[in-house]
Structure 1
Amino acid sequence: MTSQRIHNFGSPLSKSALRVISINIEGFSQDKADILSDLCRNTQCDILCVQETHRDANQSRPHILGLSLIAEICHPKHGNAVFAAPGVSITSAQCVSTDSGVEIITVVTGFCSVTSVYKPPGSPFLFEATDNFNCQQIKVVVGDFNSHSLNWGYRSTNADGQAVEDWAELNDLTLIHSPKDPPSFNSGRWKRGYNPDLIYVSSNISSQCKKLVCQPIPRTQHRPIMCTIEPIVRPITVPFKRRFNYGKANWEQYSESINTALSNLPPMPQNYDRFVDIVTTTARKYIPRGCRTSYIPGLSKESTELLKRYEQSFDRDPFSEDTLELGIKTRAMDLEDNAMGLTQEQTDKILQFQDLTGIEDMSICRDVLQRHQWDLEVAIQEQLNIREGRPSVFATEARAPPVVHDHIAQQVFTDEAPEGPGGVRGLFRYVVNFVVSMCYSTITSVLNLLLSFVRNDDRRLVTDPLGDVMGFINSYTSRFNPHPVFYQGTYAQALNDAKNELRFLVVYLHSESAAETQNFCRTTLADNEVIQYINTHALFWGCSVESAEGWRVAQSVGGRRYPLLCVVCVRDHRMTVVARSEGSCSPAQLLQRLRHVVADNEPHLAAARADRVEREMTARLRAAQDEAYAESLAADQEKERRRAAERAARDLRAQQDLQRRQQEERHKLDLVAARAAMAARLPPEPAPGRGTVVLLIRLPGGERLTRRFTLTHTTQDLYDFVFSHPQSPEDFEITTNFPKRVLARGASNLLDVGLKDRDVLFVNDVNA
């Protein structure tokens, strides 16, 4: 795996394949046309579909600056039109108006077809395809469908929604919709949002399509929706930034210069700024800097070639079968190499991690950072620990993963035996040696088992495995140098690290009693090529079989001759001993064996890495889906809570209104009963004669009452008479005409208050 730098400025993959905007304009006007012109120019729209133009055929053709009218269906209440940008080549355009009123316009470009649909409210959805609807394999269908379905945010699915879903399935179309998108229609009547405006695309390009709900347009309740079709693979652009190149730093001069400058600087708080200046100046002097502009991490040679072919095919026809197939292959290889989906911040961290550690393989950098939740400092510290042979942060488990010994598939290397005669004698010798070896192994195993019941072996008691390993490393280093970097941890820790990092683990078991050990350590393990190869491709763990930890591992791997080297790696999801080298061998032989083993088992590690990447991507996708579902559920619950609150408020108001009406009704009934009772208690009207007066009484509503009273009747009798009339106010006062004065109710008779025959009195509503 290598990383390659490419400049994607001007690349066909840096732009969208197609942008289509759909809007129910609710009546075409020049002001709205100017707004649509600005929208299409700012979004670089290729095709614009407009529904509800409300334009009669006798009116002038609609005009949008920067776009050309391709096709139109005129209707004074409905209407449908399609516009195209100057650079879009239209090969055909056809229109259909169904008997149910559904308006359909299909325009065909050199690569795909775009269809604008308008279904009037209340009309059934009956799609009648134009003759050119199936001219292209790739289809984009947009418009106002005026249909309800759970799939695009309604509370239920009606007959039109089911018809739309059946039509889409029949034509292999996929809905582009997200519950996170704002509604495309905000009802002024119902005060809530809906999604009658839909986008359907061919299923084989649905993963490339994105939906965007644009800002609302004045004097229309609909919002424009835009469908953007992106390339399957797009480069990642990294900002132009200067960085230190730590791999080419002169660390000896840097350290010497720092030590000299800081020797005369007292460690006091006021000297902190001076300390920073010294470090910065020295770093600029001895650590070179470089720049990176546009970067695609982890491009292998194969994926680079695929990317170039995809670019060329995408430039010719972005929707051809060859282009889609190349894009899928490129993305699949890119996913295998890079896991993709990296944010700008994660890409920067990968580049910094590569600079600081010198690891050229970008996929390894990504994997290490992902294991540490993208904590750059912790990931770098782990790599420093590994280079020094220390356990990583994953090696805290005290228990080792189970190790499988596949004796059939395991490769076993031994010293080369002198060549003997071939033919029947050679075959006979091979069979005899094989039988003797098997018998020897079985007999020794049985004897060791029997002796274990008779004598105690202190090596069975592993009390300090880390002490055994560190004691061997210190002893080995003092006697033999140089050597590969030993893993400074227990066998269990080494297995855990190799499993988590998906690396090879080379296990070396040392025996002082073996005659070949001294020569093997001084020549083979001290060879520079062997050291470099082991340090680059594997973790190296070693221990003496004379110690408890070494003896336990020797029993586990089943070695018979020493020095013994075993190679362990992940195979079929289990740690497996894939090779064993028994006895001494030359550096060239060991290198050949290791390279052979690595080449045979690298596909298993690659498959494990790909499986891990796929699991991580699946987990991220599931987390994103769970997050979107949780947000949608929370939004639905909030809507339901608001609706419940509104219903409770409406019910409370209705209950209060009912109580008020009932109270008013009871009050009216009580008032009628009181008036009837008052009328029954009134004294009879006297006959005309001396001592009587006729009074004219005018009510607030204009009614006139005439009544004869005796002069001995009281003002209370006058008030009772007025109250008994159905049209009188409930609370009132009686006044004279001129001079105006209020007649107080009470025991005063009419003579005392100065009333005369034919006087006119006025009834005034106190509450008016």
Structure 2
Amino acid sequence: MYFSLVIPLLFLFFSQACTGIDNIAEAITLLELNNWDLVAAINGVIPQENGILQSQSEAADAAAGGSVPPPSSSSSSSSPASSSTSAFCPVNPSSRHIVERQPRMLNFRVEYRQRTIELVLEEGSTVGEIKKLLEADLGIPVSKMQLKGWKSGDVSDSTVMRSLHLPKNNSLYVLTPDIAPTASTSKNRYGETHPMFFIGSLEAASQEAFYGKARDRKLLAIYLHNDDSVLSNVFCSQMMCADSIVSYLSQNFITWAWDVTKEANKARLLTMCTRHFGSVVTQTIRTYKTDQFPLLLIVMGKRTSNEVLNVIQGNTTVDELMMRLMGAMEIFTAQQQEDIKDEDEREARETVKREQDEAYRVSLEADRKKREVQEREEAEQVRVERMRKEQEDEKEAIRLSLEQALPPEPDEDSVEQISKLRIRTPSGEFLERRFLGSCKLQVLFDFVASKGYPFEEFKLLTTFPRKNITQLDSGSTLLEAKLFPQETLFLEGKE
């Protein structure tokens, strides 16, 4: 009974102070609707613009579905009304002034090979967040990426940049296991003058240096960098970045670099060297200690195998470095001259062979075309001969048909009117035959055609007066054509 009265009274007290509710029946109803949860009921009647008034720990309990235990009588009775009001009632926003601190932004200029990427991040970001942004732009996995250029040395991915006390503008560079250390090439550390390193694998660099034309071949300079060596910065800044060295390397060498600071990278290098240069070179590199780095290996390509001419350690001077590079170039130049001579002789032989092959090919092509022309001519002759034979056979068939269709030659003593015709052929021979005077001219034409002089090709003429019989009506008789009792005609070819 005491509990059922205390809760409504508390609710009524707080809600009246904040919202003006003074009816206990209404307070009990609201509590029942909220399962007798005092805080939930108060939050239900406080205007939304004032926000939820419960503390963070109570809000977590409410979100988890728990109920706030009712306050004890001692706590409720001992707390003055003013303190309760300040704990649960919202404070007028105009009565307080909140100053929000803007996060400090940092600018980063990150270099990778020939690319430069600009980034802006909050000071509270981590190094790993920079790498994730670079991964999206460069396509390099975060696990394979090393960010260099921090003033405090190497940092981990979880390092918060605020702890590094960085200036607003920062310059970094990216290292990957497969490329030269940017420490040796970055203008941030060594200025604008530095060697141009070959971008790609050791095998690709070897192909570029050794396997072109003899006149275009170069020496391969392999630069091995170790950040843990005290000689690295001196060698890079004073030797590798000297104008004379940079110019000489650019003109005569393919320069490739590798970072052996990490043992994993060094192991990969030894594997590549074993494959390309043999175990002797690999063992030589393995024997060098950290403080002897950096190393510059001068490699020359030969017919059978690649040869390491010189291994230059980091404890050298510019003059000594230049002398050793020039000494390697003298050996290389002598070998290159021999290779050029051999290559020229080989190309001359190949040129003669190509010319001979070309002449042979042209001869074969000419023979082939000649043979094709001859075959076409022979085929045409066969075709023409076949057509001629077919035409002759056709003419002979027509001639025989006409000859068989001719009426019989009448006898000389026939009582009917007889016309005796004598026909001179173009060859000078004469055709003689007797015809009935009543015979049609067509019979005469068929007789001439049966002797090999078809009507379509020849015309039949009288001697005097000259008259073309073939132009007369073939249905006329010999008597009507006045070819009676005898007549001499001659054949003439049509034009």
Per residue, is there more helix in 1 or in 2?
A: 2
User: What's the TM-score once normalised by structure 2's chain length?
Assistant: 0.45
Structure 1 or 2, whichever has the larger Rg, is: 2
